[in-house]
């Protein structure tokens, strides 16, 4: 598996470099999320690496009107993946809350939503004007591509709440903890913590009753995003 990743990564990295001028650096975080993605889905890890390499890191105007944290992807062949691998990798990154994809007449635009695996080292306006201290920490730990969140100073590294930890302990699949927490907090605006916990318990009972395979259990963030606490079994 390692040699396969290395070969494809080298090819994709070269394509990324050849697509335009490359400056600065990309940080790969030594995190649980990084190791989980690498070990469980190397194709998704590869695609995320390619997106991080290509992503805009500053707000300097560009001919494609891409925002910081965004890049334009080519087709699956240019990413070093088969069509099926490419589609599956995209779905995995979206389900984990790492990247959002949007089709346009110029191609697919990928927007990085989380820095848990790769940090593209976003540069603030102050840094572009020669004041490096102005943007320090801007891309640490949370969403990197949502302007509204940057304006509001939303802290993606806040401590896990006791209610979430109870819900997480009950959930049958332990992947994507941080994006799940973010989605959990968002869900509390429309539903109570007790309802979320009761929904998970019903989901677990249904899994046991129907003998669902482990690979078919929903990622926790997607369970929340799709409002699966409303399911009736």
pLDDT per residue over 13-63, tens digit each? 444 443 444 556 788 888 888 888 888 899 999 999 988 888 887 767 777
Query: Can you say whether the dihedral through the CA atoms of 24, 51, 147, 109 is positive or negative?
Result: positive
198 and 116, same structural domain? no
140 lies in some domain: yes
16 lies in some domain: yes
* Whether 116 contacts 48, CB under 8 Å: no
pLDDT of residue 69: 85
Q: What is the mean pLDDT of the chain?
A: 76
Kindly state the average pLDDT of the residues 107-134: 65
Identify the domain boundary among 108, 130, 152: 152
pLDDT digits (tens, 9 = 90+) for 152-193: 444 456 789 999 999 999 999 988 888 889 889 999 999 999
pLDDT of residue 184: 93
Number of H helices, E strands in the chain: 10, 5
Please tell me whether residue 103 adopts helix, strand or coil conformation: strand
Quick one: what percent of the chain has pLDDT higher than 70? Answer: 73
The C-alpha atoms of residue 215 and residue 147 are separated, in whole angstroms, by: 35
Kindly state the average pLDDT of the residues 64-91: 82
43 lies in some domain: yes
Domain that holds residue 182: 162-230
pLDDT of residue 157: 60
Closest of 94, 89, 95, 228 to residue 171, by C-alpha:
228
Q: Which residue has the higher pLDDT, 228 or 2?
A: 228
pLDDT of residue 125: 42
Identify the domain boundary among 152, 182, 208: 152
Identify the domain boundary among 96, 122, 152: 152
Exposed e or buried b for every residue in 149-175, given b needs 16+ CB within 10 A? Answer: ebeeeeebeeeeeebbeebbeebebeb
Split into its structural domains, the chain has a count of 2
157 lies in some domain: no
**How confident is residue 119, by pLDDT bands cut at 50, 70 and 90?**
confident
pLDDT of residue 122: 62
38 and 110, same structural domain? yes
Q: Which element (helix H / strand E) includes 27?
A: strand 27-28
């Amino acid at each position: 598996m390692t040699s396969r990743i290395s070969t494809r990564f080298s090819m994709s990295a070269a394509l990324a470099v050849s697509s335009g001028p490359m400056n600065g650096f990309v940080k790969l975080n030594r995190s649980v999320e990084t190791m989980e993605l690498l070990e469980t889905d190397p194709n998704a890890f590869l695609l995320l690496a390619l997106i991080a390499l290509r992503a805009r890191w500053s707000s300097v105007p560009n001919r494609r009107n891409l925002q910081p944290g965004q890049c334009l992807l080519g087709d699956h062949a240019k990413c070093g993946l088969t069509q099926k691998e490419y589609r599956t990798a995209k779905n995995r990154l979206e389900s984990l809350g790492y990247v959002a994809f949007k089709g346009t007449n110029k191609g697919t635009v990928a927007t990085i939503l989380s820095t848990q695996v790769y940090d593209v080292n976003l540069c603030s306006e102050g840094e572009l004007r020669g004041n490096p201290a102005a943007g320090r920490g801007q891309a640490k730990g949370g969403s990197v591509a949502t302007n509204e969140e940057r304006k509001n100073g939303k802290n993606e590294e806040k401590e896990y709440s006791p209610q979430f930890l109870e819900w997480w302990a009950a959930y049958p699949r332990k992947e994507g903890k941080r994006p799940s927490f973010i989605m959990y907090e968002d869900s509390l605006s429309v539903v109570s913590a007790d309802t979320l916990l009761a929904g998970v318990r019903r989901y677990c009972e249904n899994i046991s009753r129907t003998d669902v395979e482990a690979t078919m259990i929903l990622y926790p963030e997607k369970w929340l995003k799709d409002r699966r606490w409303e399911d009736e079994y």
